[in-house]
Structure 1
Amino acid sequence: MLGALGVCLTLAAAPRVPPRFVPVRAFTLAWTHSIEKIRWEEDYRIERDAANQPVLIPGHARILGSGAGMDPPPDAVHHADGWYEYQPHTGPLRILRLTRSPYTADYDWCVGGSCEPLRGIMPTDGDVTLLAPCTAP
């Protein structure tokens, strides 16, 4: 029997802090750019690849406006409500490196339309948090 899919969160600079397993098949990471104050949202889902290993599949991404150095990709669709929506062209991912500075707002972790700061699931040490698709330990 295969273990339940989800994500494993680890603090890159604090290996003594135990990783956290979150049983989830789809989620959104969202944040507000620290200078331009523009909201970004990226959807992800966890699936198994041909070798039966968990992988992170990027879904749609959205940017609420544009700013210096933050142009949406050329294939983004601009909606009347101000959001640019596009499909990232990256393939399946094995890991995301999330930089979590003490000087900016944390990422929002959203599941099923409900969001909370990522620190509610995994504390931050002000450095990098590794997010990897995984199976239940």
Structure 2
Amino acid sequence: MSLCLASAGVVKALALASFTLAWSHSVEKTAWQEDWRVTPDGLELAQARVKGSGAGMEPPPEARLVDGWFQWQPQRAPLSRLVLANSGAAGEWRVCGDGQCRTLSEIFGHDIGVATITMSVCNE
């Protein structure tokens, strides 16, 4: 399985069966991470974690504090696509897999600015 990222008519395929999506909250500037799996049913959210709480980012009651991160396992059906918007106020989204993290600009090879990015399972 591969992860496809699409923006402004350009599609980038990443050979990843799982990945971490990382970003900083635009107001609180707090780190947030989500672990995703690329499955035949779509993108499956396996775990979420945040380095704190505040404006619109309170961890749910089932979250547990582990090594400075509130962690929990969201219970939701796989998504056919995930749409990311970049406000430009908190840095870029990062995709981490195979031991490295890259910004969306690094993946696309140019500054993506506030472009919308759609993530999905590649149709192979």
1:62 matched to 2:49? The reply is yes
1:52 aligned residue: none
1:7 aligned residue: 3
| Higher mean C-alpha deviation, range 88-97 or range 121-130 | 121-130
How high is the sequence identity, in percent, across the aligned residues?
Answer: 38
1:120 aligned residue: 106
Aligned-partner SS, 2:122: strand
* Paired residues, number: 122
Aligned-partner SS, 1:65: coil
The two structures, once aligned, show a CA RMSD in angstroms of 1.6
Task: State the Cα distance separating 1:89 from its structure 2 match.
Answer: 1.6
The separation in 1 between residues aligned to 2:46 and 2:6, in whole angstroms, is: 23
* One of 104, 119, 122 as aligned partner of 1:131: 119
1:34 aligned residue: 26
Task: State the Cα distance separating 1:36 from its structure 2 match.
Answer: 0.4
Which structure's CA Rg is the greater one?
1
Contact 1:7 1:135 in 2 (8 A): no
Contact 2:27 2:55 in 1 (8 A): no
TM-score, structure 1 as length reference: 0.81
Residue identity in the other structure for 2:2: G
Moved over 4 A (4+): none
Query: Structure 2: which 5+ residue stretches go unaligned?
Result: none
Deviations 1:103-131 (A, max 9, x none): 43001110133212121112425131111
* One of 63, 76, 98 as aligned partner of 2:63: 76
TM-score, structure 2 as length reference: 0.88
Task: State the Cα distance separating 1:78 from its structure 2 match.
Answer: 1.5
The separation in 2 between residues aligned to 1:125 and 1:69, in whole angstroms, is: 23
The separation in 1 between residues aligned to 2:36 and 2:94, in whole angstroms, is: 13
Query: Structure 1: which 5+ residue stretches go unaligned?
Result: 50-54
